[in-house]
Protein backbone atom coordinates (compact mmCIF):
# COMPACT_ATOMS: atom_id res chain seq x y z
CA UNK A 1 0.00 0.00 0.00
CA UNK A 2 1.32 3.45 -0.92
CA UNK A 3 0.41 6.09 1.67
CA UNK A 4 1.57 8.97 -0.51
CA UNK A 5 0.24 10.63 -3.63
CA UNK A 6 2.11 9.85 -6.81
CA UNK A 7 3.85 12.90 -8.31
CA UNK A 8 0.95 13.36 -10.73
CA UNK A 9 -1.63 13.02 -7.94
CA UNK A 10 0.31 15.43 -5.75
CA UNK A 11 0.30 18.03 -8.54
CA UNK A 12 -3.44 17.60 -9.02
CA UNK A 13 -4.06 17.88 -5.26
CA UNK A 14 -2.00 21.08 -5.11
CA UNK A 15 -3.96 22.53 -8.02
CA UNK A 16 -7.30 21.60 -6.43
CA UNK A 17 -6.28 22.95 -3.01
CA UNK A 18 -5.19 26.27 -4.51
CA UNK A 19 -8.43 26.65 -6.47
CA UNK A 20 -10.56 25.83 -3.43
CA UNK A 21 -8.61 28.24 -1.23
CA UNK A 22 -9.31 31.00 -3.76
CA UNK A 23 -13.00 30.26 -4.32
CA UNK A 24 -14.58 28.10 -1.61
CA UNK A 25 -14.55 30.55 1.33
CA UNK A 26 -17.07 32.90 -0.28
CA UNK A 27 -19.51 30.00 -0.71
CA UNK A 28 -19.32 28.73 2.86
CA UNK A 29 -22.72 28.85 4.53
CA UNK A 30 -22.69 31.22 7.49
CA UNK A 31 -24.95 30.96 10.55
CA UNK A 32 -27.56 33.11 8.81
CA UNK A 33 -28.09 30.44 6.13
CA UNK A 34 -30.01 27.51 7.54
CA UNK A 35 -29.87 24.08 5.88
CA UNK A 36 -32.82 23.41 3.57
CA UNK A 37 -33.73 27.09 3.39
CA UNK A 38 -34.29 28.89 0.09
CA UNK A 39 -31.01 30.75 0.63
CA UNK A 40 -29.20 27.43 1.17
CA UNK A 41 -30.60 26.03 -2.09
CA UNK A 42 -29.49 29.14 -4.00
CA UNK A 43 -25.99 28.96 -2.50
CA UNK A 44 -25.77 25.23 -3.30
CA UNK A 45 -26.66 25.85 -6.94
CA UNK A 46 -24.24 28.76 -7.18
CA UNK A 47 -21.36 26.65 -5.80
CA UNK A 48 -22.16 23.81 -8.20
CA UNK A 49 -22.14 26.24 -11.13
CA UNK A 50 -18.75 27.66 -10.12
CA UNK A 51 -17.29 24.16 -9.85
CA UNK A 52 -18.66 23.26 -13.28
CA UNK A 53 -17.19 26.38 -14.88
CA UNK A 54 -13.77 25.51 -13.42
CA UNK A 55 -13.94 21.86 -14.49
CA UNK A 56 -14.49 20.39 -11.03
CA UNK A 57 -17.98 18.99 -11.61
CA UNK A 58 -18.36 15.59 -13.25
CA UNK A 59 -14.62 15.03 -12.91
CA UNK A 60 -14.85 11.35 -13.88
CA UNK A 61 -17.57 11.75 -16.53
CA UNK A 62 -16.74 11.44 -20.25
CA UNK A 63 -15.58 14.63 -21.97
CA UNK A 64 -18.18 14.23 -24.70
CA UNK A 65 -20.87 14.62 -22.03
CA UNK A 66 -19.32 17.72 -20.47
CA UNK A 67 -17.21 15.93 -17.87
CA UNK A 68 -13.45 16.01 -17.45
CA UNK A 69 -12.66 12.40 -18.32
CA UNK A 70 -10.58 12.18 -15.14
CA UNK A 71 -9.81 9.14 -13.05
CA UNK A 72 -11.83 8.01 -10.05
CA UNK A 73 -8.86 9.04 -7.92
CA UNK A 74 -9.11 12.59 -9.27
CA UNK A 75 -12.68 12.66 -8.00
CA UNK A 76 -11.62 11.29 -4.62
CA UNK A 77 -8.87 13.91 -4.26
CA UNK A 78 -11.26 16.76 -5.02
CA UNK A 79 -13.81 15.38 -2.54
CA UNK A 80 -11.13 15.11 0.17
CA UNK A 81 -10.00 18.68 -0.35
CA UNK A 82 -13.54 20.07 -0.65
CA UNK A 83 -14.47 18.57 2.74
CA UNK A 84 -12.08 21.04 4.36
CA UNK A 85 -14.63 23.78 3.69
CA UNK A 86 -18.22 24.29 4.81
CA UNK A 87 -19.47 24.63 1.26
CA UNK A 88 -23.04 23.41 0.58
CA UNK A 89 -22.37 20.40 -1.64
CA UNK A 90 -24.87 17.81 -0.39
CA UNK A 91 -27.83 18.93 -2.52
CA UNK A 92 -26.19 17.45 -5.64
CA UNK A 93 -24.54 14.36 -4.11
CA UNK A 94 -27.47 12.06 -4.89
CA UNK A 95 -27.87 13.27 -8.46
CA UNK A 96 -24.20 13.54 -9.37
CA UNK A 97 -23.05 10.53 -7.37
CA UNK A 98 -25.89 8.05 -7.93
CA UNK A 99 -28.67 9.05 -10.33
CA UNK A 100 -26.76 10.51 -13.28
CA UNK A 101 -24.19 7.67 -13.44
CA UNK A 102 -27.19 5.34 -13.80
CA UNK A 103 -28.76 7.56 -16.48
CA UNK A 104 -25.45 7.68 -18.35
CA UNK A 105 -25.23 3.88 -18.24
CA UNK A 106 -28.79 3.09 -19.37
CA UNK A 107 -30.60 6.07 -20.92
CA UNK A 108 -30.58 6.93 -24.61
CA UNK A 109 -27.82 9.16 -25.91
CA UNK A 110 -30.28 12.00 -26.49
CA UNK A 111 -31.63 11.77 -22.94
CA UNK A 112 -28.14 11.59 -21.47
CA UNK A 113 -27.03 14.69 -23.34
CA UNK A 114 -30.23 16.45 -22.25
CA UNK A 115 -29.70 15.81 -18.53
CA UNK A 116 -25.96 15.81 -17.90
CA UNK A 117 -25.25 19.47 -18.69
CA UNK A 118 -27.96 20.99 -16.45
CA UNK A 119 -27.00 18.66 -13.60
CA UNK A 120 -23.31 19.56 -13.90
CA UNK A 121 -24.13 23.29 -13.83
CA UNK A 122 -26.44 23.00 -10.82
CA UNK A 123 -29.54 23.93 -12.79
CA UNK A 124 -31.44 20.69 -12.06
CA UNK A 125 -31.58 18.53 -8.94
CA UNK A 126 -32.16 14.76 -8.88
CA UNK A 127 -33.38 12.38 -6.19
CA UNK A 128 -33.52 8.60 -5.83
CA UNK A 129 -36.92 6.93 -5.27
CA UNK A 130 -35.90 3.57 -3.80
CA UNK A 131 -36.81 2.97 -0.13
CA UNK A 132 -40.38 2.13 0.88
CA UNK A 133 -42.20 1.80 4.23
CA UNK A 134 -42.89 -1.94 3.81
CA UNK A 135 -39.53 -2.93 2.35
CA UNK A 136 -37.15 -1.74 5.06
CA UNK A 137 -33.59 -2.65 4.15
CA UNK A 138 -34.80 -5.16 1.56
CA UNK A 139 -34.72 -3.05 -1.59
CA UNK A 140 -35.98 -5.95 -3.71
CA UNK A 141 -39.10 -6.09 -1.54
CA UNK A 142 -40.60 -2.86 -2.89
CA UNK A 143 -44.33 -2.74 -3.68
CA UNK A 144 -44.66 0.34 -5.89
CA UNK A 145 -46.41 -1.05 -9.00
CA UNK A 146 -45.92 -0.02 -12.60
CA UNK A 147 -48.58 -1.38 -14.95
CA UNK A 148 -48.15 -1.01 -18.70
CA UNK A 149 -50.77 0.91 -20.64
CA UNK A 150 -49.74 1.08 -24.29
CA UNK A 151 -46.62 3.22 -24.56
CA UNK A 152 -46.92 4.35 -20.94
CA UNK A 153 -46.67 2.89 -17.45
CA UNK A 154 -49.09 3.77 -14.65
CA UNK A 155 -47.27 3.93 -11.34
CA UNK A 156 -48.79 3.74 -7.86
CA UNK A 157 -46.98 3.50 -4.55
CA UNK A 158 -45.09 5.27 -1.81
CA UNK A 159 -41.39 5.99 -1.33
CA UNK A 160 -39.78 7.19 1.88
CA UNK A 161 -36.51 8.69 3.17
CA UNK A 162 -36.00 10.38 -0.19
CA UNK A 163 -33.26 12.98 0.28
CA UNK A 164 -34.05 16.46 -1.08
CA UNK A 165 -37.11 15.34 -3.04
CA UNK A 166 -38.76 18.68 -2.28
CA UNK A 167 -36.11 20.45 -4.38
CA UNK A 168 -35.73 17.84 -7.09
CA UNK A 169 -36.63 18.29 -10.74
CA UNK A 170 -36.13 14.64 -11.72
CA UNK A 171 -35.74 11.23 -10.10
CA UNK A 172 -34.90 7.64 -10.84
CA UNK A 173 -37.62 5.33 -9.54
CA UNK A 174 -37.55 1.58 -8.97
CA UNK A 175 -40.90 -0.18 -9.50
CA UNK A 176 -42.40 -3.67 -9.51
CA UNK A 177 -43.63 -4.62 -12.96
CA UNK A 178 -44.05 -8.39 -12.54
CA UNK A 179 -45.21 -9.70 -9.14
CA UNK A 180 -45.55 -13.35 -10.25
CA UNK A 181 -41.78 -13.97 -10.27
CA UNK A 182 -39.20 -13.91 -7.42
CA UNK A 183 -38.77 -10.41 -6.07
CA UNK A 184 -35.42 -9.60 -7.69
CA UNK A 185 -36.65 -10.63 -11.13
CA UNK A 186 -39.75 -8.44 -11.42
CA UNK A 187 -38.34 -4.91 -11.06
CA UNK A 188 -38.01 -2.12 -13.63
CA UNK A 189 -36.29 1.27 -13.36
CA UNK A 190 -37.46 4.58 -14.87
CA UNK A 191 -36.51 8.20 -14.75
CA UNK A 192 -39.31 10.53 -13.70
CA UNK A 193 -40.15 14.21 -13.96
CA UNK A 194 -40.99 15.21 -10.37
CA UNK A 195 -43.54 17.71 -11.70
CA UNK A 196 -45.63 14.92 -13.24
CA UNK A 197 -49.31 14.83 -12.19
CA UNK A 198 -49.80 12.47 -9.25
CA UNK A 199 -46.42 13.11 -7.57
CA UNK A 200 -46.76 14.43 -4.00
CA UNK A 201 -43.80 15.22 -1.73
CA UNK A 202 -44.13 15.49 2.06
CA UNK A 203 -41.00 16.53 4.01
CA UNK A 204 -40.06 14.59 7.18
CA UNK A 205 -38.65 16.62 10.08
CA UNK A 206 -35.77 14.81 11.76
CA UNK A 207 -34.38 14.92 15.32
CA UNK A 208 -31.91 17.55 14.17
CA UNK A 209 -34.78 19.80 13.04
CA UNK A 210 -33.87 19.33 9.37
CA UNK A 211 -36.10 18.31 6.48
CA UNK A 212 -33.52 16.44 4.40
CA UNK A 213 -35.79 13.41 4.00
CA UNK A 214 -39.22 13.11 2.41
CA UNK A 215 -42.14 10.82 1.72
CA UNK A 216 -43.10 10.68 -1.95
CA UNK A 217 -46.55 9.46 -2.99
CA UNK A 218 -47.13 8.30 -6.56
CA UNK A 219 -50.80 8.19 -7.56
CA UNK A 220 -51.59 7.06 -11.12
CA UNK A 221 -48.40 8.70 -12.34
CA UNK A 222 -47.94 8.11 -16.07
CA UNK A 223 -44.37 7.47 -17.23
CA UNK A 224 -43.63 7.00 -20.95
CA UNK A 225 -41.86 3.76 -21.80
CA UNK A 226 -39.14 5.90 -23.40
CA UNK A 227 -38.13 6.86 -19.84
CA UNK A 228 -37.34 3.25 -18.91
CA UNK A 229 -33.76 2.57 -17.81
CA UNK A 230 -32.70 -0.91 -18.88
CA UNK A 231 -34.92 -3.77 -19.93
CA UNK A 232 -38.36 -4.57 -18.49
CA UNK A 233 -37.97 -6.67 -15.33
CA UNK A 234 -34.20 -6.09 -15.33
CA UNK A 235 -34.37 -3.27 -12.80
CA UNK A 236 -32.35 -5.08 -10.15
CA UNK A 237 -29.27 -4.97 -12.39
CA UNK A 238 -29.83 -1.25 -12.94
CA UNK A 239 -30.33 -0.69 -9.20
CA UNK A 240 -27.01 -2.40 -8.46
CA UNK A 241 -25.31 0.16 -10.69
CA UNK A 242 -26.86 2.90 -8.56
CA UNK A 243 -25.95 1.20 -5.28
CA UNK A 244 -22.34 0.67 -6.35
CA UNK A 245 -21.97 4.39 -6.91
CA UNK A 246 -23.91 5.22 -3.73
CA UNK A 247 -21.41 3.62 -1.34
CA UNK A 248 -18.59 5.43 -3.09
CA UNK A 249 -20.50 8.73 -2.84
CA UNK A 250 -21.27 8.51 0.88
CA UNK A 251 -18.50 10.05 2.93
CA UNK A 252 -18.21 11.96 6.16
CA UNK A 253 -21.11 14.45 6.18
CA UNK A 254 -20.11 18.12 6.37
CA UNK A 255 -19.78 19.74 9.78
CA UNK A 256 -19.62 16.45 11.66
CA UNK A 257 -17.44 16.06 14.72
CA UNK A 258 -14.10 14.30 14.56
CA UNK A 259 -11.43 13.26 17.01
CA UNK A 260 -9.78 16.69 16.90
CA UNK A 261 -12.91 18.39 18.22
CA UNK A 262 -13.24 15.82 21.00
CA UNK A 263 -9.66 16.34 22.17
CA UNK A 264 -10.15 20.12 22.15
CA UNK A 265 -13.37 19.71 24.12
CA UNK A 266 -11.70 17.48 26.74
CA UNK A 267 -8.95 20.09 27.13
CA UNK A 268 -11.49 22.86 27.68
CA UNK A 269 -13.50 21.14 30.43
CA UNK A 270 -12.18 21.39 33.98
CA UNK A 271 -12.68 18.74 36.67
CA UNK A 272 -13.63 19.49 40.27
CA UNK A 273 -9.95 19.38 41.18
CA UNK A 274 -9.18 22.03 38.57
CA UNK A 275 -7.37 19.81 36.11
CA UNK A 276 -8.26 19.13 32.49
CA UNK A 277 -10.82 16.43 31.78
CA UNK A 278 -8.34 15.13 29.22
CA UNK A 279 -6.10 14.03 32.11
CA UNK A 280 -8.72 11.56 33.42
CA UNK A 281 -7.64 7.98 32.67
CA UNK A 282 -11.08 6.79 31.49
CA UNK A 283 -11.46 9.79 29.18
CA UNK A 284 -8.01 9.28 27.68
CA UNK A 285 -8.76 5.57 27.19
CA UNK A 286 -11.99 6.33 25.31
CA UNK A 287 -10.32 8.97 23.14
CA UNK A 288 -7.50 6.54 22.34
CA UNK A 289 -10.01 3.91 21.18
CA UNK A 290 -11.78 6.40 18.92
CA UNK A 291 -8.41 7.57 17.59
CA UNK A 292 -7.50 3.99 16.67
CA UNK A 293 -10.86 3.62 14.89
CA UNK A 294 -10.24 6.81 12.94
CA UNK A 295 -6.73 5.67 12.03
CA UNK A 296 -8.15 2.36 10.78
CA UNK A 297 -10.64 4.23 8.61
CA UNK A 298 -7.82 6.36 7.21
CA UNK A 299 -5.88 3.24 6.29
CA UNK A 300 -8.95 1.75 4.61
CA UNK A 301 -9.33 4.93 2.55
CA UNK A 302 -5.64 4.76 1.65
CA UNK A 303 -6.04 1.16 0.54
CA UNK A 304 -8.98 2.13 -1.69
CA UNK A 305 -7.00 5.12 -2.95
CA UNK A 306 -4.06 2.88 -3.85
CA UNK A 307 -6.35 0.54 -5.80
CA UNK A 308 -7.91 3.47 -7.68
CA UNK A 309 -4.50 4.92 -8.49
CA UNK A 310 -3.58 1.59 -10.13
CA UNK A 311 -6.78 1.55 -12.19
CA UNK A 312 -8.36 -1.21 -10.12
CA UNK A 313 -12.02 -1.22 -9.04
CA UNK A 314 -12.71 -0.46 -5.35
CA UNK A 315 -12.78 -3.59 -3.19
CA UNK A 316 -14.66 -4.25 0.06
CA UNK A 317 -13.20 -1.10 1.64
CA UNK A 318 -16.28 0.98 0.75
CA UNK A 319 -18.65 -1.34 2.65
CA UNK A 320 -16.30 -1.86 5.58
CA UNK A 321 -15.43 1.82 5.84
CA UNK A 322 -19.04 2.97 5.70
CA UNK A 323 -20.09 0.41 8.32
CA UNK A 324 -17.37 1.43 10.79
CA UNK A 325 -17.51 5.15 10.05
CA UNK A 326 -21.24 5.57 10.69
CA UNK A 327 -21.22 3.85 14.08
CA UNK A 328 -17.97 5.52 15.12
CA UNK A 329 -19.41 8.97 14.40
CA UNK A 330 -22.51 8.19 16.47
CA UNK A 331 -20.52 6.77 19.40
CA UNK A 332 -18.01 9.61 19.27
CA UNK A 333 -20.71 12.28 19.44
CA UNK A 334 -22.53 10.46 22.25
CA UNK A 335 -19.29 10.24 24.25
CA UNK A 336 -18.59 13.95 23.78
CA UNK A 337 -22.12 14.96 24.78
CA UNK A 338 -21.75 12.82 27.90
CA UNK A 339 -18.62 14.81 28.77
CA UNK A 340 -20.70 18.00 28.63
CA UNK A 341 -23.32 16.51 30.98
CA UNK A 342 -26.36 18.80 31.29
CA UNK A 343 -24.72 21.40 29.06
CA UNK A 344 -25.27 19.08 26.11
CA UNK A 345 -29.02 19.75 26.08
CA UNK A 346 -28.60 23.45 25.28
CA UNK A 347 -29.87 24.25 21.81
CA UNK A 348 -27.00 25.88 19.97
CA UNK A 349 -27.31 27.15 16.41
CA UNK A 350 -24.12 29.22 16.13
CA UNK A 351 -21.97 26.47 14.55
CA UNK A 352 -19.96 26.02 17.73
CA UNK A 353 -18.39 22.71 18.77
CA UNK A 354 -21.58 21.93 20.71
CA UNK A 355 -23.72 22.56 17.64
CA UNK A 356 -21.46 20.29 15.56
CA UNK A 357 -21.66 17.53 18.19
CA UNK A 358 -25.44 17.75 18.34
CA UNK A 359 -25.71 17.64 14.56
CA UNK A 360 -23.41 14.61 14.40
CA UNK A 361 -25.38 12.76 17.07
CA UNK A 362 -28.79 13.43 15.56
CA UNK A 363 -27.69 12.73 11.97
CA UNK A 364 -25.78 9.51 12.69
CA UNK A 365 -28.81 7.14 12.72
CA UNK A 366 -29.64 8.24 9.19
CA UNK A 367 -26.04 7.70 8.14
CA UNK A 368 -26.23 4.13 9.46
CA UNK A 369 -29.19 3.50 7.13
CA UNK A 370 -28.12 5.39 3.99
CA UNK A 371 -26.25 3.31 1.45
CA UNK A 372 -27.15 0.05 3.18
CA UNK A 373 -27.95 -0.60 6.83
CA UNK A 374 -25.37 -1.99 9.24
CA UNK A 375 -27.01 -5.42 8.96
CA UNK A 376 -26.91 -5.44 5.15
CA UNK A 377 -23.26 -4.35 5.11
CA UNK A 378 -22.31 -7.02 7.65
CA UNK A 379 -23.88 -9.63 5.38
CA UNK A 380 -21.93 -8.26 2.40
CA UNK A 381 -18.65 -8.36 4.30
CA UNK A 382 -19.36 -11.83 5.72
CA UNK A 383 -20.41 -13.42 2.44
CA UNK A 384 -18.34 -11.59 -0.17
CA UNK A 385 -15.19 -10.76 1.78
CA UNK A 386 -14.85 -13.50 4.39
CA UNK A 387 -16.51 -16.20 2.28
CA UNK A 388 -18.88 -17.28 5.05
CA UNK A 389 -22.07 -19.24 4.21
CA UNK A 390 -24.85 -17.09 2.79
CA UNK A 391 -27.66 -15.97 5.07
CA UNK A 392 -30.77 -18.18 4.82
CA UNK A 393 -33.34 -16.57 2.50
CA UNK A 394 -36.64 -18.49 2.50
CA UNK A 395 -38.15 -16.15 -0.11
CA UNK A 396 -35.30 -16.44 -2.61
CA UNK A 397 -37.13 -18.48 -5.29
CA UNK A 398 -40.72 -17.71 -4.26
CA UNK A 399 -42.89 -15.47 -6.50
CA UNK A 400 -43.33 -12.06 -4.89
CA UNK A 401 -47.14 -12.28 -4.85
CA UNK A 402 -46.93 -15.49 -2.81
CA UNK A 403 -44.71 -14.11 -0.06
Domains 128-247 and 253-385 share a fold: no
pLDDT at 249 over 70: no
What's the pLDDT band for 382 if we cut at 50, 70, 90?
Answer: confident
Active site residues: 246
CATH number given to 128-247: 2.40.110.10
The residue that leads in pLDDT, 150 or 361, is 150
The residue that leads in pLDDT, 160 or 2, is 160
pTM for the complete prediction? 0.84
Handedness of CA 304, 251, 184, 103 (dihedral sign): negative
pLDDT at 170 over 70: yes
State in words which class domain 253-385 has. mainly alpha
Domain segments of the chain as ranges:
7-88, 128-247, 253-385
Q: Closest Cα partner for 65 from 96, 19, 20? A: 96
Mean pLDDT of 238-243: 86
Task: Please report the DSSP string for 80-99 in residue order.
Answer: HHHTTS----GGGHHIIIII
pLDDT at 313: 60
Q: Which residues pair with 154 in a beta bridge?
A: 147, 222
Q: What is the pLDDT of residues 97-118, one digit of tens each?
A: 889 989 999 999 999 999 999 9
Q: How far is Cα 367 from Cα 28, in angstroms, rounded to an integer?
A: 23
Mean pLDDT of 212-228: 96
pLDDT at 158 over 90: yes
Amino acid sequence: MDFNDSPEEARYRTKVAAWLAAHAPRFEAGPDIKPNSAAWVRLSKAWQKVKAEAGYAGITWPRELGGQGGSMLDGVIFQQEEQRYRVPNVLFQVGMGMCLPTVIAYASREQTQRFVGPALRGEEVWCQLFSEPAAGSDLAGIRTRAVRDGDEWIVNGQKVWTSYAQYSDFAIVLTRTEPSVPKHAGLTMFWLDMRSPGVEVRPIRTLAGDEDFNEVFLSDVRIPDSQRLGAVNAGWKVALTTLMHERLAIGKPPEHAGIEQIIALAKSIRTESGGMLLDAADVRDSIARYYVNDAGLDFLRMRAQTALSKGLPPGPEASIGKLVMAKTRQDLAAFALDLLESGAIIEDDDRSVLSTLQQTYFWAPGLRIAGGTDEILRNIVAERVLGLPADYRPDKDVPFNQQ
